[in-house]
A and B are shown apart, each in its own frame.
Chain A
Amino acid sequence: MTSPVGTRGADYEMVVERGKIAEFAAAMQSRNPAYAGPDAVVPPTFLISSALWAPDGAAVEHGFDRRRLLHGEQEFIFHGPPPRAGQTLRVSEQIVDRYEKPGKKGGLMRFAVVVTEYRGEDGALIAEARKTLIETAPRAGAS
């Protein structure tokens, strides 16, 4: 199944947890004290872990062949200070763009841009994650 541009997944709750921030900081080999304590701040790429909170149906369908799927770019935008432990976010993702380019060895490369929004309990947009997925061109002769 392939979601067209504009498709939005079901929204869901993400609780920003102190323990999860500490676990993420350890995985990024950081001892920065900003990631510790009851009001720990989230690291710059932490919001990627919202995937752990997503129920079935929350993810939009890129529809690409997984064997040719690449993660090209990933951007995090914060519309103010990054979230802290104890905050609850409403998360939803949406396909915002699809385009194609000729592959270097022929065929077509397909691109999909997925934006995940992170809103506060008052509905204000706190952060966005923008992911560019690439499906490489099929090899000549491959079906």
Chain B
Amino acid sequence: MPVEVGEKAEAREYGPLTTRMFVRYAGASGDFNPMHYDDPLARAAGYPSVFSQGMHSAALLASFAADWLGAENVRRFAVRFREQVWPDDVLTCSGEITAVSQNESGCLVTAELSATRQTGGIAVSAIADFLLPLFR
């Protein structure tokens, strides 16, 4: 487990993403905006195709972060949406520890995370706090 500033997670790729994945996220989350699965409607609205829910990309980045620092340890996960994500995109998730502080309840770790498209553009970035148990 990382506990030092500057430590990095091993990067992980998600994708190529598919409309089927967007549909699955719609059902799981309850976000049924049709722009994410109805291709004729998305094109009629001027988009080149359907596109991912921002919260879907955020969920993939959260998945990555929780696998790294522990799902039950999460205390804060703050996401900024930056670029749209399209079918066939591959997102590479990465993260780095930027702050560590110890107190009686554990070791509070802050990480900066990002999900980057194959173009190099950042789709979503996040700052997360995880409280790691002291005795491991």
Contact = CB atoms under 8 A, between A and B. Distances in A.
Interface of A: 20, 23-30, 32, 34-35, 41, 43-45, 48-49, 51-52, 70-78, 81-82, 130
A48 B26 CA distance: 11
A73 B77 contact: no
Contact of A74 (B14, B25, B58): B58
Given A28-B62, A29-B60, A75-B78, A45 B21 contact: no
A71 B76 CA distance: 18
Interface stretch (B3-11, B65-73, B95-103): B65-73
Nearest to B12: A29
Given A27-B24, A72-B81, A43 B76 contact: no
Nearest to A66: B33
A81 B74 CA distance: 7
A79 B24 CA distance: 29
A74 B79 contact: yes
A73 B77 CA distance: 11
A44 B78 contact: no
Contacts of B60: 28-29
Contacts of B67: 30, 32
Nearest to B72: A41
Contacts of B79: 45, 73-75
A78 B76 contact: yes
B55 A48 contact: yes
Contacts, number: 105
A76 B126 CA distance: 11
A44 B29 contact: no
B76 A77 contact: yes
Contact of B66 (A20, A23, A44, A49): A44
B86 to A, nearest CB: 17
A75 B77 CA distance: 6
A44 B28 contact: no
B71 A35 contact: yes
Contacts of B71: 32, 34-35, 41, 43-44, 82
B63 interface: yes
A42 to B, nearest CB: 9
